[in-house]
Structure formats: C-alpha cells, structure tokens
Structure 1
Amino acid sequence: MDTTVLSLGDPLAPARKATAEMLRERNTSFSLPQPFYNDERLFQIDMQEIFHKEWLIAGMTCEIPSKGNYLTLQIGDNPVIVVRGAEGKVHAFHNVCRHRGSRLCVSEKGKVAKLVCPYHQWTYELDGRLLFAGSEMGADFNLADYSLKPVNVKTAGGYIFISLAKEPPAIDEFLRTLDHYMEPYDMENTKVAVKTTLMEKANWKLVLENNRECYHCSGSHPELLNTLLEWDDTNDPRASQEFKDHVADSAAKWEAEKIPYLHAGFGLRNRIVRMPLLKGTVSMTMDGKQGCKKLMGRIQNPDLGSMRILHLPHSWNHCMGDHMIVFTVWPISAQETMVTTKWLVRKDAVEGEDYDVARLREVWDATNDQDRRLAEENQRGINSTAYQPGPYSKTYEFGVINFIDWYSERMLNNLGEESAHVREASVG
C-alpha cells in the first residue's frame, strides 16, 4: 500500500470493517444489502479489492497485431497501456510518466515506435525502459531508476489478461484450458469487426447479476431467444430430454471435427462450455443464419452452437463458428457502469462482402439495451428506503448465487490480506 495513504490513515477503514461484517452475516440465498449497490465508499472498496486485485480482460491480442501497436484502458483511477514489444511480446504498464505523472498515451489505440510523454518528451522503450529524459535532469540522473511501472500481463486464447495486484491470484490452469478451447479459432488471424460502448446507470454487480440468469429472458429478449437456448449444462434441473438429445447430437458432430466442447470449470470464477443453439440456427443473428460467410480458423461446420466463456469479475463471451462476441464490464461509479461489446471475425473477412456490421450487431444491440433498462430499473428500486435483500431462485438464478458467492469470498479474502498489510506497516 502507498505509504502516503498509510501515514494519513485509511479513510475507508470503518467501511471496510462494515463491508466484511455484512458479507459474513448475509443470507447466502438472498441479494446483497443495499450499500453494496449504491454506496460510494463500498464502490471504492470494490475497486481496491476486486478490480485492482483480480485478473481482468484488457483486450484481444489481435487488437495489437504487431510491434508498437498499443491499446489503453482505465481501471478506476488507474490508466493502463498494453503494447506489443519486440519479438511479439505483450507488455502492460501503468500509463503514467515517471517524470511528473502525465499520461503517456491519450488515444484508445494506436501504433508508436517508442512511448513518448506528450508533456516533456521523456521517451521509453516498448519494454518500459526510460531511454531519454533530456540533459535538463543533470549529469547524475540515472535513466535505469525511472522505468515505467509494470502491470501483470498474460495472454491465452487470443485474450489479454492484466492484474494491478502485486501478487495476483493463480490463473494459469484456466489459461491453458482457454488456449485449448480457442485453438480452432486461430485467434491471431482474427479482427474486431465492430466495438460498441454502452453506459448503464447501475452498479456493476447488478449488470453481472442480470447476465448470470435467464429468468428474465422470455419477457425481455425476443431477439436473443430466436437462437439462444438458456441452459448452460445438461445437468440444469430445468433441462428437458429434448434439449439433452439435441446436445448429444451436436456433441457427436463437434467430436468428429475435434472441436472442444465439454464443460470446464475453475471454481466459480471461470467456466467454458459449448452449448448448441436452437435447432435450425447456427449464429446469433436475427434469422439464425451465418453473420459472416467465412468461418473462423480451421472450423468447417457452421453449426458449432455457442461456446460460452465466463470470466469473473467482468466478462462473458459467445464463440460461434462464424464470429465471436466479447463483453466486458467496467465500473465507473457506485451507480454507473460501462459495458463494451466486441464482435470478432476472420482477419481476411471483407466488410460488405463477407459480413454486414449492422446485421452482425442487431441481436446484441437490442439485447444490451434491454439489459441496460432492466439494470437501471433494478438500481432505481434498490435506491428506495423500501429495499431489502430478496430471495434468489435456486433453479433459475443459481448463476447469480454463484457470482455473489464468488464476489463475497474474494472480497473477504482480499480485505483480510489488506488488513494484514496495514497491521504490518503500522507495526513497522
């Protein structure tokens, strides 16, 4: 922890204690107490203990295809840059100049030979080393003392994962599995066909809770249900025999093409599973037909259903034969969240010839906006003095229960670690 913060005391200490108590005492089959959804102090704790410590999806490797390509993102108050360096290596740094703290890269993405601060032209190599600071700094100035501050970064299956933590949680087993499941897609030869950003006036956890159940789907998502079957697994207690037979028939075809599909789980944080779409449909488009004429990677059969990838705290994904969709959730404040959606296709697919962006977007543009309205109305109700935690359905909302259980466990774990650090620092 920053020694300056320690010397001033932790203004969130009482809120941290109250947060831990509420989590320990909560009814695990009910929604969270009101402060978890609308209190700004608790939001700051969410950022410090979840979004600053867990692994997050920063983007896709295809977005920085060659040396010097970079992308930037904002995690709370922390600007981050991810850049492709020499020999294809991906680096991540705090997007903060070591001189007086200005942001180095101000664009969302771009390509550079070196990282140059626009304020005083301090210049860094793509691996973060300071190369130039000017003679004004004096003869005894040591460039080696002022490299960019690194951010943990790992890549797997075409995804870029970053963590601001000094010691992030273990993730390698999931990443190895992700590499295996994404192999058919040849992710280095994909591209982002289109990206959208949606601002929702709701707490980030409400956005995730809404995503983790389909209890609301039949009343809210007609476009999505043209193709989506809501069950994630044949073990779902609501799954019909017809659905189980459909899964078995589809799995036999995937097996023949050596397409990974079996359910792979890693605690409550990560899950990968391929499920068929509605019979007669092959892609999440309005008519269920291919959204892109060219199938991805080595895929030959367009009827691959949707491989669903969950990564808590902030991402879900749908991977079909012709395109894939990556969703990420970024908290802005206690009651505001940014949701990004990226549609990926083969790198050599031609817009207007192989795919139409409007058609590709149509289903999820509608669904995202419907979910936005649901989350915002949820937030408005929770803000009421009448709100109290309500019961989850153990059959229809088990995914929400799993998310809240994961959140509670990680929050308590990270708060405990933080308390220990504070005690050690204060004793020292």
Structure 2
Amino acid sequence: MTQNDLLNLSYASLDQAREEMNGLLKERRRDYSLPQPLYNDPHMFRIDMEEVFQKEWLFVGMTSEIPTKGDYFTVDIGQNPVLIVRGADGSINAYHNSCRHRGSRICSEHRGKVANLVCPYHQWTYDTKGNLLFAGTEMGDEFDKQKHGLKKTHCKVGGGFIFVSLGKQEPEGDFDAFLATLDEYMEPYDVENTKLAVESNMYEKANWKLVIENNRECYHCEGSHPELLNTLLEWDDTNDPRAPQSFLDYYARQAAEWEAEGIPHEHKSFGVRNRIVRMPLKEGTQVMTIDGQEGCSKLLGRIKNRHLGSMRILHLPNSWNHMQSDHFIVFRVLPISAQESLVTTKWFVHKDAVEGVDYNPERLRQVWDATNDQDRRLGEENQLGINSVGYEPGPYSKTYEFGVINFLDWYTDTVLKNLG
C-alpha cells in the first residue's frame, strides 16, 4: 500500500488501530522483536508517521549544505514537504513547503539558490524569513499579506546538524543539552567550512524500524560486511559489554593522543535516544576507505591527527553518523510506506578540497555503498520473513543486540507517550 492509499483509511479504522497499537506496545516483551502489525500494517504505519515523524525531532541535513543566503534544500517527511533555507542574516529556517495561496509546493527541486521564494503556480513571493512579499492586486485591498506568511516548522541546529519537528508544540525533553554537546564535540571539524562531496539515496523495501534495528547491532557484520570490517571495530561503544581488555587498552592509547590535541572523546548519552562516542578504528587504519588510508588529502577544521577514529553520533528515530579526520558521513532514514524506506547517505570534505585532486568521490563512497546495499538486502529479507503467517516475535541477545533493545524501548515509550 502506498502513502496515498493511507488517505482512504476511515477515522473508525484508525481509532481502532490506535487502540490495538496501544495494546500491542504495552503487552510486548521488551527483549523480543515487535508484533507483526508494527512492521507491516499500513494503519500502524500511519500512526508511526503521526506520533513519531510528525512530532519528534528529526535529522534532515547539515548547515554546510546551504552555506550562503538563499541556499536551500528540500525533504519529504511522509506527505509533508519541508523546505530548509539559509536566511539573509545567516540563520537556518525551516518551513512547510506549501504556498499559503492554494497549497502548491513552492520549491520542487531538491537543492537550489533563490533571492526570494516564488510559488510557480501563481507567483506568490516570500522572503527567506517566510514573509509574504507579493500576492498580486487580484487579492483585493482587504487582503493582509502579514497573515499569510509561510508556516514554520520547529528547527534547531547543533554542531552543524539541522533538526526539525513538525508538531504544533516542540517535543518534550532536554534536547538542548544534546545540541550543546554536539556543538562541543563537532567544533574540531568546523562544519561551516565543509562541503557536500557526494550523496546517495537508496530505497529499501523494509519498514523504517527494521532499517534502524539493523544499524543498531553488528551481530550481522562478520557475515555480511567485509568492506566495512577492513576498518571498523565491531564494538558498539566504549561501554560495550563484549569489548575485551585488549580493546580497552587500545582505546586508552588512542584517547591519550586525542586529549593531547584537545579532541573530545568521552562517551556522552542522553537517554537511549542520543549518543556521541569516539571509537578508534582498526590499528593502522585512518578512515573508512577500502584500504583504511586517507579519503581526502585535506584534513577537516583544526584536526592534525589522521588517527581520530570515528566519532559515532546516534539520533533516534532516523540518523547515525561517522565523523573522521578527513571526511565525515551522515545517514538519514525516512519512511515511505509500511514496507519501504529511503536511506540517504552524504559524504562531506573540507570546502577547499578539489575533486579529482584532493579526493575521489568513488573512493569516498566505496565502502558504504557496498555496506548500504548489503544492509538493504538484509532488511528486505527480514521484511519478507516478518510478513509470513509463521512469524512471531523472537528474542534479542542482551549483549550483541542491546542497541536494538534500546531503540525499541525508546520507540515503545515514545509512541505510548504520544498516543496519550
């Protein structure tokens, strides 16, 4: 069933679905996978969209994607087109990409640059602060332009990461503490002086929760990700209960180097939803390239040590990220339907780096193109198996899959809270 088909759901069936979802989440075993409808039912998917993706903070992109005034990019969150634009004063603004005249999308391109925002339908014109500048004399003398500016979405920035929330009210919780820590931990990378080197978009025929579940464990890595394991250590973070003493000793040696350079590295968690941790890569490797050696000749920001490992940044419900010495990689997941998701991957380098001289886009993306496609196949097979009449929730390993348990705990608590 497509997103448009969801419009045909009756209010009665949706109310029934809310009651059923409430019961399924309250009764589920917290160390087991979810009941089947939560992975494949279009009614449940619509509730996910309304109670998670239309109410919570979502990662949408990086500030360096829109470096100067009038630069913009667009993103579709379910049926909600959103426009993110850099204002004349340098601020980052997010709006519903819907004209206040008759609702047409204003910006149809994924990226662009404008002096003002002009709706192509009837040329209503807005500035980058969302103010309506022109609606034509046809609207009559009584028409008040000030009451017809673009509708804003909540928007916050931390460490160069842009987050939006589509809810009427800002989500509850101390999100600002996470943003402040992002500012501190991202400072060495100087995001404003980076640029987007390459981007990929991958459609995966799997529920968005299966995409996140797969990311939250490396139980499957040894059998599935040879390219990634050229550089990646499988431990989830410095608190991973599986990590041997040899890893802890290696981490301590690396941490001493990072401290000498003033590079933040201590594990920071904000509940189970947001986490920042710097992890070393395999000894002798620098970044996540196929051979573990440099991806770009220019280091980022004030970084001098190529052996910074990967600073992993988690933001539920839709993002994980790897910050490295000469480039960084951000991932964004957006639901498309009950059994389809869009995974966007972006690679960033120093803004002065020259393609073909300082970096090769194909080399930058080689490892994660392979890994993403491997994960796509795993997710799609997972979805097909879950669709079976023989599926029932199965147990997670509390050591190898604790990250998945944490994610589904967050998901369960968030949906129950928002359902009221």
TM-score range, shorter chain: over 0.9
Helix, strand or coil at the partner of 2:89:
helix
- Return the offset for 1:232: 2.8
**Contact conserved, 1:123 with 1:131, CA < 8 A, in 2?**
yes
Shift of 1:230: 1.3
Q: How does 1:382-397 map to 2 (within 5 A)?
A: 382-397=386-401
Contact 1:40 1:333 in 2 (8 A): yes
Distance change >3 Å, CA 381–CA 9, structure 1 → 2: closer
- 1:201-256, Cα deviation, whole Å (9 max, x unpaired): 00000000000000000000000000000113333221111101100000000000
Q: Would you identify which runs of 4 or more consecutive aligned residues in structure 1 move more than 6 Å?
A: none
Residue 136 in structure 1 maps to residue 138 in structure 2: yes
> Quick one: structure 1 residues 204 and 9, their matched pair in 2 at CA, closer, same or farther if it must change by over 3 Å?
closer
Report what 1:149 is aligned to.
151
Picking from 251, 270, 273, the partner of 2:274 is 270
Q: Which residue of 1 aligns with 2:246?
A: 242
Within 5 Å, give how 1:80-229 maps onto structure 2.
Answer: 80-169=82-171, 170=173, 171-229=175-233
Distance 1:128 1:187 in 2: 26
Give the whole-Å Cα distance in 1 for the aligned partners of 2:22 and 2:138: 50
1:118-170: CA deviation from partner (whole Å, max 9, x where unpaired): 00001111111111111111111111111111101111111111100122223
CA distance, structure 2, for counterparts of residue 19 and residue 161 of structure 1: 27
Q: 2:364 aligns with which of 360, 364, 388?
A: 360
Q: Is 1:69 paired with 2:82?
A: no
Q: Deviations over 1:269-291 (max 9, x none)?
A: 10000010000101001111011
Task: Tell me what 1:339 maps to.
Answer: 343
The Cα shift of 1:9 comes to 4.8
Give 1:280's aligned residue.
284
Q: Quick one: which amino acid aligns to residue 207 of structure 2? A: N
1:53-64 correspondence runs (5 A): 53-64=55-66
**C-alpha contact 1:56 1:162 (8 A) present in aligned 2:** yes
**Length-normalised TM-score, structure 2:** 0.96
Equivalent position amino acid for 1:219 in 2: G
SS in 2 for 1:86: coil
Is the counterpart of residue 299 in structure 1 residue 313 in structure 2?
no
Give the distance between the partners of 2:289 and 2:27, measured in 1 at CA.
44
Aligned length: 410
Equivalent residues of 2:217, 2:236 under 8 A apart: no
Which whole-Å CA distance do the structure 1 matches of 2:229 and 2:170 have between them? 38
Q: Deviations over 1:285-304 (max 9, x none)?
A: 11110111111000000000
- What CA distance in whole angstroms lies between the structure 2 residues aligned with 1:48 and 1:192? 31
Q: 1:228 to 1:79 in 2, by over 3 A?
A: same
Q: How does 1:2-17 map to 2 (within 5 A)?
A: 9=11, 11-17=13-19
Alignment gaps of 5+ in structure 1: 417-428
Determine what percentage of the aligned residue pairs are the same residue: 66
Secondary structure class of the residue paired with 1:414: helix
Letter in 2 for 1:127: K
Counterpart of 1:252 in 2: which secondary structure?
helix
- Structure 2 counterpart SS, 1:106: coil
Look up the SS of the partner of 1:329 in the other structure: strand
Partner in structure 2 of residue 313 of structure 1: 317
Tell me by how many angstroms 1:397 deviates.
0.2
Q: Distance in 2 between matches of 1:220 and 1:373?
A: 10
Larger displacement relative to structure 2 (362-371 or 11-20): 11-20
The equivalent residue for 2:353 is 349
**SS of equivalent to 2:201:** strand
Any conservation in 2 of the 1:232–1:273 contact (CA below 8 Å)?
no
Give me the CA root mean square deviation. Answer: 1.1
Deviations 1:81-103 (A, max 9, x none): 01111210111110000111100
Work out whether residues 224 and 364 of structure 1, in 8 Å CA contact, stay in contact via their aligned partners in 2. Answer: yes
Cα distance, 1:239–1:172 mapped onto 2, change above 3 Å: same
CA contact (8 A) 1:200 1:375 kept: yes
The CA deviation string for residues 179-220 of structure 1, in whole angstroms up to 9 with x for no partner, is 000000000000010000000000000000000000000000
Q: Is the 8 A contact 1:330 1:337 kept in 2?
A: yes
- 1:35 match: 37
Supply the AA of the counterpart residue of 2:115: A
SS in 2 for 1:325: strand
Would you say the 8 A contact 2:238–2:267 is kept in 1? no
CA shift digits 1:348-400 (9 cap, x unpaired): 01111111111111100000000000000000000000000000000000000
| Matching residue of 1:413 | 417
The reply on whether 1:232 has 2:242 as its aligned counterpart is: no
Separation in structure 2 between the aligned mates of residue 77 and residue 108 of structure 1, nearest angstrom: 16
Distance change in 2, residues 1:358/1:9 (3 Å)? closer
Letter in 1 for 2:291: D
Letter in 1 for 2:254: S
User: 1:352 and 1:22 mapped to 2: Cα distance?
Assistant: 53
* TM-score normalised by structure 1 residue count: 0.95
